[in-house]
Structure 1
Amino acid sequence: MARGFRLIFATSLLLMLLGICNGSTIGICYGRNADDLPTPEKAVELIKNLNINSVRIYDSNIQVLKAFANTGIELMIGIPNSDLLPFSQFQTNADTWLKNNILPYYPATKITYITVGAEVTEAPTNVSAMVVPAMTNVYTALRKAGLHRKIKVSTTHSLGVLSRSYPPSAGAFNSRHAGFLKPLLEFLAEKQSPFLVNTYPYYAYRDSSSNVSLDYALFESSSEVIDPNTGLLYTNMLDAQIDSIYFALMGLNFKTIKIMVTETGWPSKGSPKETAATPENAQTYNTNLIRHVINNTGTPAKPGEELDVYIFSLFNENRKPGLDSERNWGLYYPDQTSVYNIDFSGKGTVDVNTGGNLTTVNGTSWCIASPTASEKDLRNGLDWACGSGNVDCSPIQPSQPCFQPDSLVSHASYAFNSYYQQNGATDIACSFGGTGVNERFQPQVLIVYS
């Protein structure tokens, strides 16, 4: 029994250090702005065959909710901008919507997020003032139903919510949106909900190809872009865009809010001037994106940080207005044949066999807390890492993904390793007054005996 416990603890600690306790995931956006799509049931079967476990839809269509029942797929559902007014005005409207549109299908349909409004700062009519009141009413309705800890409430943004995004460390929110953003960010921080952003390196390249190289946008760059303020090195546009959001949040002292990418992708076809919209580029972008996310790479400013990303989109949608590219973001044609080949498995440095009890780990170095250190010294090191060391320690708080195992050694190891990885993985970055220990995990198999 003691041997089994040690192995279980070692596995839990290792998975914590590798970020698997809050590992990144790839999802898919299931848009339905088309008149030739397969039934929701057929779409769900396609999604299941792809082994995708997270899906975003843009409304609360009853047929779609029913189709996802008993699949185990986590669903992000949306409340459109057109419904913000009634949701913001009266609590009873949110209560009735939850009673009629969500509760009959939950938990068979695994709803985990509700997005209230979408890219409201880009909307032709100013509806941003309605967002937080509507979110508050939806949250209150969930709390009445006892679901406020199981279903997170947020809203999505375009990158246009920023006034500056380059270099990433200069990221700042547009002051025109201050009246909307301050209460929104306070809501997200208090409710531990993520900041949802739609980021498209395709548009950055298309609209500024003289400043952005195609390889940089496609994760194919052989050179690095240096942030002159931080010295951080960027090899792709998506990381730079995400970090600009992180720095904008930190600039307003919202350091604990997580970021989730609710849309990104690359079109396979475009209008004559959209020469980069090709199946080859779309395949390259999405393949590299999946690998980047599944490897738990994080971003230069947040190495190893959880980053959930939704690819836009499952199908081409023929009713979307605008340039030809708008109707050609899909991985699949409406007849369910693929636009190009895509592998959702990725090729990570960590392979977890979810069907058994084996975990294989490639060799690399980590910083963990010494099991022989005193409780006082460990506590001092942990407090410093989470304070002056600027480590985001929210994942090791109660009810959060890395809280277990609930021990001082485990929590200190998480914080020590986060600081170590963020600061060049040098010996001095693993000191912590002598309580940090460098470890090198060689390729091995840890077996947990039941």
Structure 2
Amino acid sequence: MLGNNLPSAPEVIQLFRSHNIKRMRIYDPNPAALQALRGSNIELMIGVPNSDLQSLSNPSNAQSWVQRNVLSYWPSVRFRYIAVGNEVSPVNPGTASIAQYVLPALVNVFNAIRSAGLQDQIKVSTAIDMTLIGNSYPPSAGAFRGDVRKYIDPIIGHLTYAKTPLFANIYTYFSYAGNPRDISLPYALFTSPSPVIWDGSRGYQNLFDAMLDALYSALERAGQYSVDVVVSESGWPSDGAFAATFDNARTYYSNLIKHVKGGTPKRPGRAIETYLFAMFDENQKQPELEKHFGVFFPNKQAKYPLNFGTKRISDISSENNTTVFLKSDM
């Protein structure tokens, strides 16, 4: 939504439907988007913006937020998830001051959903980024950073109790761009013809699986074996920075859509619920590469020939945009 040339909310819903995209992520309770979603049958992940976390650490404020932005639209809007905060970290200067509010806001929103009897239909979680992982190599040694354990452990403990997945934003692009000497482009783009690393008996042919399995290992190392992971964002920019090319982005999105139906070496045979970032290029974002994550142009033309067909569906993401969802027949 951070663009001055983007289609209206009803047009976006029609675009999702015409491409058979079954799920969407939005990053705040945008009334125009929610109104347009009524009766669309598109399942929604809605975000509590980071700026609202402190307020929602008060239970009555959380109750009001859920009433206003979820219950007043339910069931004509098919809420699937509520993401309470996005990429909050106690060691990131930009979010450290609000990290203390994530758990109380998460619990209060969960309690508001439970008091409405909807805890089985609408799952409440938070979206992390991979900077919370301290060790990721090999994947079986994955562990959270020591200085975020006091933050993350109670959150994932609550998710176990609530039988709710953790949301994770996983970008092989940033890992590759940050270390092209040690990470090969084929490994980041799913194009390596054979395993690049071996972790015991498990061979890793792509970085996405290695990152996701490192997160699973970190959850297990923290004692939470039953928490599943939903990949709440993944994408590749088509311009604006190193390795951000149209061909690389097309390759990444196409291969990601094919890949997530099959699981990871650590969790094989289980489709990975995955949301593509993002629906549109957004010309008002900074820095430059952030303008180029769209899988559609603002004029609603597809940027890449992606298959959101009946067997594989993909939902799209926005930061005040929307996320496209990817899933196979689960």
User: Which TM-score applies when normalising by structure 1?
Assistant: 0.67
SS in 2 for 1:117: strand
After superposition, the CA RMSD in angstroms is 1.7
- The equivalent residue for 2:272 is 307
Q: Which amino acid aligns with 2:61?
A: N
Aligned length: 311
1:319 maps onto 2:284 in alignment: yes
Alignment partner of 1:341 out of 305, 311, 317: 305
For 2:148 and 2:228, how far apart are their aligned partners in 1?
20
Mark the CA change 1:299 to 1:120 in structure 2 (over 3 Å): closer, same or farther.
Answer: same
Aligned counterparts of 1:202 and 1:182: Cα–Cα separation in 2? 27
Structure ranking higher on relative contact order (CA contacts 8 Å, 6+ apart): 2
- In structure 1, the gaps of 5 or more residues are 1-31, 349-401, 403-450
- One-letter amino acid matched to 1:317: E
Residue 2 (structure 2) aligned to one of 33, 42, 46 = 33
Task: Name which of 178, 184, 197 aligns with 1:207.
Answer: 178
* 1:145 corresponds to 2:113: no
Matches within 5 A, 1:5-84: 32-84=1-53
Inter-partner Cα distance in structure 2 for 1:312 and 1:100: 27
Deviations 1:276-318 (A, max 9, x none): 211111111111111112xx31000110123100000110011
Name the residue aligned to 2:320: none
Residues of 2 paired with 1:135 and 1:347: CA distance? 34
Q: Partners in 2 of 1:69 and 1:346 — Cα distance? A: 22
Aligned residue in 1 for 2:319: none
What's the counterpart of residue 327 of structure 2? none
Distance in 2 (CA, whole Å) between partners of 1:345 and 1:108 is 24
Greater CA radius of gyration, 1 or 2? Answer: 1
Give the unaligned 5+ runs of structure 2: 313-329
- SS of corresponding position for 2:104: helix
Structure 1 residues 24-52: Cα deviation after superposition (integer angstroms, max 9, x where no partner):
xxxxxxxx122221101001111111111
The answer (yes or no) to whether the contact 1:291–1:346 under 8 Å persists in 2 is no
Query: What residue identity is the alignment partner of 1:70?
Result: G
Deviation at 1:152, TM superposition (A): 0.4
Q: Please name the residue that 1:95 is paired with.
A: 63
Residue type of the alignment partner of 1:245:
L
Does the aligned pair in 2 maintain the 1:224–1:233 contact within 8 Å? yes
TM-fit CA distance, 1:166: 1.2
CA contact (8 A) 2:193 2:205 kept: yes
Q: Percent identity among equivalent residues?
A: 40
Deviations along 1:260-291, whole A, 9 cap, x unmatched?
Answer: 100001111113xx1x2111111111111111
SS of match in other structure, 2:238: coil
Give the drift of 1:108.
Answer: 0.3
Aligned to 1:418: none
Q: 1:328 aligns to what?
A: 292
Shift in CA distance, 200/125, structure 1 to aligned 2, threshold 3 Å: closer
Say which SS state the counterpart of residue 85 (structure 1) adopts.
helix
Task: Summarize the alignment of residues 379-418 of structure 1 with structure 2, pairs less than 5 Å apart.
Answer: none
Match of 1:217 among 178, 188, 192: 188
Give distance in 2, aligned partners of 1:141 and 1:188.
15
- CA distance 1:317–1:123, change in 2 (3 Å): farther
Structure 1 contact 287–346 (Cα < 8 Å) conserved? no
**What SS class does the counterpart of residue 96 from structure 1 fall into?**
helix
Q: In structure 2, the residue corresponding to 1:336 is in which secondary structure?
A: coil
Post-superposition offset of 1:123: 5.7
CA distance in 2, matches of 1:252, 1:346: 38
Matches within 5 A, 1:40-439: 40-88=9-57, 90-121=58-89, 122=92, 124-126=94-96, 127-228=98-199, 230-271=200-241, 274=242, 276-293=243-260, 296-322=261-287, 324-345=288-309
More deviation, 140-149/156-165? 140-149
